[in-house]
Structure 1
């Protein structure tokens, strides 16, 4: 059995060209790794997601038994009872990973980067993990982004947004219209419920895109990051 308390997340980093004044934490989807997502972004965009003053961090989720794969080990941020919007969240594993990812936030704070100079997001499961991390634990960062992501209909994130005592960061959410793994409507419903709960959220559809990244989406994300973290 994996001792999750002893886990230290590995990180793949795209360093800034100049002085480090801001950070992006970009979480991969289930079964991927930080280096895998970094390479995928490079392949799609034709270059690294890189900036003059912004460090981009790609953590890797630890190997853990994953119930939808009949308990086979996979690099996943949390477990799921099954992939369905109608089942309860596996909050024990989500909360444990919030603690580990919080250590990465603390590393950036120690490097002199305040939370209002950070954005956190991810692809698929990584986007859902980012929503839990930010909306429930780090509400004072600059922004959240979710690519091809969704939440279960009774997610703890909705309650956290409703009960927030301060304005929450803006959410950028993107989804392909041809996504057969995580239906576009599921992602759009997540966005609608987050808005209803009080989050400032935008939703961008990409025609004919399946459960993938595309260049247009990453270019939108790049511009959004620069807007959130402009000096």
Structure 2
């Protein structure tokens, strides 16, 4: 078991159907898999874009009484100033940076790679973007927060000018709407191109309105060459 338990399962990949010139890497939330978001992302993508939806490694999650489930890092609480799994967040970030560099090696410049995620995956996508030196095409942060926020702005070594779309439902019972707002205000201080969209009445999920914004964001930031 040992090492293999922390290895990621094969990601769900939607290959470009035209000449591949851009990539979106989208990270699911706690307890989900890459399949959870693949079809939704496929619907808002474009023919020249390859979509990668990786699946997090299975690990015991403190927040869920130690039950094992796909999780990017351990979650001990969803309190605003609760303890965080610093080591786990950084290890997960390294895996995401690896996925980005694999795309770069295959010929897609980092400026044509977009990162995104939902909930825990959105948190990881924000953290991974700001700790990545090379510029990315954009970040889609859904129903999430900025992890290890006490490290910022010092920890932000890149993507300070990158456009970020952050969406949050104002009825979210899991990741409170307030967390999203606090994260957005903090990020705005060092990365001004963040657009925070409130989705009225939405809980900890997605909606047509939100996906319409995601689709517009992808079209604006990753047009066909």
Q: TM-score, normalised by structure 2?
A: 0.91
Q: Does 1:148 align with 2:156?
A: no
Which residue in 1 is equivalent to 2:121? 126
Divergent runs of 4+, >4 A: none
Shift of the 118–86 alpha-carbon distance from structure 1 to 2, 3 Å rule, reads same
Distance 2:60 2:152 in 1: 24
Counterpart among 168, 172, 175 of residue 161 in structure 2: 168
Cα shift readout 1:170-214 (whole Å, capped 9, x = no counterpart) = 211001111111111211111011112344211001111111111
Distance 1:15 1:123 in 2: 21
Contact kept, 8 Å, 2:25 with 2:52, in 1: the verdict is yes
Gaps of 5+ in 1: none
Offset at 1:138? 4.4
Distance 1:112 1:123 in 2: 27
Counterpart among 42, 54, 57 of residue 59 in structure 1: 54
Which residue in 1 is equivalent to 2:15? 15
Number of matched residues? Answer: 224
Q: TM-score, normalised by structure 1?
A: 0.88
Which residue in 2 is equivalent to 1:81? 76
Cα shift readout 1:64-114 (whole Å, capped 9, x = no counterpart) = 111111211111111122221202321100111112222211221122101
Distance 1:130 1:196 in 2: 18
Q: Does 1:217 align with 2:222?
A: no
Cα shift readout 1:24-76 (whole Å, capped 9, x = no counterpart) = 0010011100012224x27xxxx733312011110000101111112111111
Gaps of 5+ in 2: none
Offset at 1:142? 1.4
CA RMSD of aligned residues (A): 2.1
User: Once structures 1 and 2 are overlaid, which stretch shifts more, 133-142 or 179-188?
Assistant: 133-142
Distance 2:116 2:159 in 1: 20
Contact kept, 8 Å, 2:133 with 2:159, in 1: the verdict is no
Distance 1:23 1:8 in 2: 19
Shift of the 75–8 alpha-carbon distance from structure 1 to 2, 3 Å rule, reads closer
Paired residue secondary structure (1:48): helix
